[in-house]
Amino acid sequence: MRRNFTFGESPIKNMLEKARRLSEFHHELRINAGAFELEGREMGIDVTVHKNVKIEVINRHSPSRNIVEELMVIYNNFAGQYCLQNDVPTIYRTQASPRHAMPSQLPDGPLGRYEGAKLLRPAVISTRPGPHFGLALDHYSRATSPIRRYQDLMVQGQILHHMYHQKIKYTSEEMISKANACGQQSRILSRVENSRNRYWFLKFLDQNLSARNHQWTMPAIVLETKNDQRAILELTDYPFRIRCSLQATSKPGDEIGVSLKGVDLWNRSAQFVLAQ
């Protein structure tokens, strides 16, 4: 018989408490060193047997997720340090500093994530070590997701082979060649996944629009306005960005009401207008 434990009752309570303290301490060190974080949201999509779509907005920074995420950062940092100190070829993930100084404080919520993401440079992979601006670390080599990413499996194999045999398993050329091939495949899979998630969220909008007699108004945050183009917004209740024509007085950060007028599943689009 299985039983659910509360945190206080858990037989591994002490271990979890130590993991929490360690992760919080390391996270604070990185923040003080200039780590830059964008707290995003993600959608959990469930389709019932009757093909009804259910959406759950997931908090990516729950206490349990924070512990796991920071422990992964610690592990990957040590992996990079081990390879550097022992002259073991590996794949480092680096990120250069932004071209322009980061603001001391960004707006809360979707607008802050949008503006911050525009300032950050993309992370790149290399066999040459270098700092990672966003993580505020000198060395970072991802090795914590060997099931999801072949590159991580390769880094793990390289480190373990060196630890047990004092020899390298892959040369630098082999590492970067395999990593680039995996990266290309990962980008393709990511586009497929994003397209799939977009389809099912639009299906969710379409189903609910019909259930509401085609009258559905919802709040949205203005992210960017342009004189010659429709503004970019993000729905307040869902991490989904839309375009909509607004009044000339609208500015980034404003929360306004938008009405859903229709969904085109074939073209993966939704039509929103400013609520009256």
pTM: 0.85
Read off the pLDDT of residues 51-81 as tens digits, 9 standing for 90 and up.
Answer: 899 999 988 778 888 999 999 999 999 999 9
Q: DSSP string of 40-85?
A: -EEEEEEE-TT--EEEEEEETT-HHHHHHHHHHHHHHHHHHHHHHH
- Alpha-carbon distance of 30 to 140, in angstroms, equals 13
Displacement of CA 226 from its chain's centroid (Å): 27
Structure letter (DSSP) for residue 238 = S
- For the record, the structure tokens of 260 come out as 């859903």
Q: Which segments in the chain show pLDDT lower than 70?
A: 1-11, 228
pLDDT, position 253: 94
Of the chain, the end-to-end C-alpha distance in Å amounts to 56
Superfamily designation of domain 215-276: Nucleic acid-binding proteins (2.40.50.140)
Nearest to 204 by CA among 147, 274, 265: 265
Closest CA to 208 of 52, 48, 43, 57: 52
Domain boundaries, the chain: 13-211, 215-276
What pLDDT is recorded for position 3? 56
Q: Considering only CA atoms, which of 258, 245, 255 is closest in space to residue 217?
A: 258
- pLDDT of the residue at 10: 62
What's the token pair of residue 68? Answer: 């796991």
Backbone angles phi, psi at 132, to 5 degrees: -115, 110
Per-residue pLDDT tens over the stretch 196-234: 999 999 999 999 999 898 889 999 999 999 876 789 999
| pLDDT recorded at residue 165 | 97
pLDDT at 1: 39
Predicted local distance difference test score (pLDDT) of residue 225: 92
